[in-house]
Amino acid sequence: MIETLDARRTSEQARDLGIYDEDGFVESAFLSRIEDLVEAENAPTLKSLVEPLHESELGDILETLDNEPRQGLVRLLGEDFDYSALTEVDEAIRLSIVGAMPNPQIAAALGELDSDDAVYILEDIEEDDRKEILAALPFRERMRLRRSLDYPEESAGRRMQTEFVAVPPYWSVGQTIDYMREDEDLPTSFAQIFVVDPMFKLIGAVELDRILRAKRLEKIDEIMHDTRHAIPAEMDQEEAAQIIEQYDLLSAAVVDRDERLVGVLTIDDVIDIVQAEAEEDIKRLGGVGDEEISDTVLTAVRSRFTWLLVNLATAILASLVIGLFDATIQHMVALAVLMPIVASMGGNAGTQTMTVAVRALASRDIDLRNAGRIIRRESLIGLVNGVLFAVIIGLVAAVWFQDAGLGQVIAIAMIVNMIAAALAGILIPLVLDNLGADPALASGTFVTTVTDVVGFFAFLGLAAWWFNL
């Protein structure tokens, strides 16, 4: 929902109220005050303290509080609790708050919210409860929410707002302005109005500043423009966000299969989607899936376990490679001392290339067909850095173990592994992407498997051959 600025709800007041410290964290003094008031069951003072807050401020407070005072706060606020704050908190917290409420109370609260916020809260609630809540809503609300919920998860239809202004093309600018002045059932705030035919088929749109600059007698169809960026309700939210972002739109019409206008996707939803997708990439690259900081220990253990298990398998694979050369190591323990260096440098270089590749894929700067240039570039970077670090580590090893041959062996192994790292770092994400897998999710494991195996094999194998062990 696009929000009109409201004098009562401002960050400066929030600062006056002492909610945030200078680093932007929720002030601990403010939190203690809330905790004390909840403890004392002092509902009136709590209400006066929380009432001027913006939904996002209340959301921050809910996230920072421990579970008990959080539930107490919601309970004491009762009808004065601003349910849109639920759209600002992690899923686990949202579900624990909603789970503690009777369904009729949730229904009454959802009726007050914009449709996109209501859907956001409803979609995580379990089937049975959801049905009961929907049944308790007025007919029109129920139909609106059901329609949104019928669209697939993470689709534009789920994120759209179903409140919008639509007028026929033959209206004049004056008529349109008068309609907006008189109609009570308008969205809280909007940046453009839509033009539809009698069947509600979308035929155009007009930005508000265009209407303000037009003469009262001009017809809407003279000042409207085509809406070719209209978004099918089934479209994935990420794709929809990319369109709005690429064309710098303030909002876009969402249409059903018959091209009828069913909702509007606004740019502030796009920011949330962009944030969520970037967050997803970072977490997947770090091997923590979709984990949130408020997830329970059990959930986190489970989601991380899978990733660590895959890593264990690849680590054992690397150990098998080392095991091939146990006799060599026994003759020359220096190899055991130095071998992690080759593997570690390869792992890091491979991660660098992979990070660049994953980002380039996400922003569609490369794909398999035009990848030649990037592959050459990364190989060259790998070669140059490989040679530089070969010289450094070669000298270090030769001096450390007083053995020029060992220096030469590790130098060559370093070059080999740095080139392998570059190739693995670019090719693995490209192939995964081409197979339809998310390159952010799985590339890391495969890349470090390659650099470990190649690193150990090149270094130990070369040493075995060189020293005839």
Q: Which amino acid is at 281?
A: D
CB of residue 12 to a second copy, shortest distance in Å: 4
CA distances to 76, 282, 434 from 450, rounded to whole Å, are 57, 22, 19
CB closer to a second copy, 125 vs 406? 406
Give the tokens for residue 305: 């376990």
Q: Return the number of the residue (150 or 365) whose C-beta is nearest a second copy.
A: 365
Question: Is residue 334 within 8 Å of residue 469, measured between CB atoms?
Answer: no
The residue among 126 and 364 lying less far from a second copy, judged by its C-beta, is 364
CB of 245 to a second copy, least distance (A): 5
Residue type, 80: D
Q: Of 101 and 457, which has the nearer Cβ to a second copy?
A: 457
- Taking the complex as a whole, how short is the minimal distance between the CB of residue 209 and a second copy, in angstroms? 5
Which lies closer to a second copy via its Cβ, residue 168 or residue 204?
Answer: 204
Cβ–Cβ under 8 Å, residues 55 and 87: yes
154 versus 272: smaller Cβ distance to a second copy: 272
Complex with a second copy: residue 249 or 413, whichever CB lies closer: 249
Choice between 46 and 453, CB closer to a second copy? 453
For a second copy, the closer of residues 271 and 404 by Cβ is 271
Shortest Å, Cβ 104 to a second copy: 29
Tokens (6 digits) for 268: 């502030």
CA angle, residues 323, 445, 387, in degrees to nearest 5: 75
For a second copy, the closer of residues 105 and 355 by Cβ is: 355
Q: Which amino acid is at 139?
A: F
Torsion of CA 403, 404, 405, 409, to 10 degrees: 110
User: Min. distance of Cβ 134 from a second copy in angstroms?
Assistant: 26
Nearer to a second copy, 137 or 440 (CB): 440
Contacts of 191 (CB under 8 A, 6+ apart): 2, 207, 208, 250, 251, 266
Evaluate whether 210 touches 223 at the Cβ level (below 8 Å): yes
Pick 124 or 239: Cβ nearer a second copy = 239
